[in-house]
Amino acid sequence: MRAPFLPAALITGMLLCPMPGGVAVAHAQETSNALVPLPGTPEKPFAALSRALLGGRDSLVRLTKQQVGLKYKLGAVKPGLAFDCSGLVKWVMSAFDLHLPRTAAEQARLGIEVPKDTAQLLPGDLLFFGRGKRVTHIGIYVGEGRYVHAANRRKGVIESDVSPPGSRWWKGARRVIVDDSLAAMVRTGS
C-alpha cells in the first residue's frame, strides 16, 4: 500500500512547492491566493484598435506633409510632380485604400459631418472651403489647427492654419476615416 501513496505525495509536493530553479512558477495577484498561473492584466478591449487607428492617422499625416512643396497644377494627381486640391486628397486617401471621387465638391459630401472646431477634428479629416454655397477647395487636417492643401499656382502644396470657425470661406469638415463601431452607429442613425 505504500507504493501508490509515495508517487501521489511526490507529485502533490512538486506542484505545491516547486524546487528552486524549476520552470513552473505560479503568479498570483496581490489580493489573490491562487495556486495556478494567472495571466497578466488584460489590455483594455479597444486599446489595440485605438493604437491602430492613431497609427494609421500618423501615417496619413506623414504622407500628406511629404507632399508640401510640390507644385499646383489644375487636374494633376501624380505624386512627386504636382497636384490640385482634390487630386492631393484623392491620392493621399487612395494610399489608405479609401477611393474618393475626383472633385472637391464630390469629396465634401462623403463621410460624417464634424463640427468646425479644431478641438474636435482628427488628423485625416477633410476640410472644405468655398464661396456662397459652392465647395471649390479641399484639404486634409493634420492636427494642431493646421491642414495641408494644394493652394494655387503661386503657392503650390502648403500647410496652413485652419480658418476661424466663423469664416465664410471654411464651409465644413467631414470624417472619412472611421472605426467600424462608429460607422455602424452612423448607418443606423444612433
Q: Which of 17, 27, 85, 99 is catalytic?
A: 85
* Residue among 17, 27, 99, 149 flagged as catalytic: 149
Q: Are 92 and 124 in contact (CB under 8 A)?
A: no
Kind of pairing between the strands at 137-143 and 71-72: unpaired
**For this structure, is 27 an active site residue?**
no
Check if 149 is active-site. Answer: yes
> DSSP letter string over 2-71?
HHHHHHHHHHHHHHHSPPTT-S------TT---SS----PPPPTTHHHHHHHHHHHHHHHHHHHHTTTPE
| Dist. CA 67–CA 60, nearest whole Å | 11
Residue of 17, 27, 99, 137 marked active site: 137
Helices (H), 32-156: 47-66, 85-94, 104-107
For helices 85-94 and 47-66, give the axis angle rounded to 10 degrees.
Answer: 140
Q: Measuring CA to CA, how many Å separate 111 from each of 20, 125, 187?
A: 61, 9, 11
Catalytic residues: 85, 137, 149
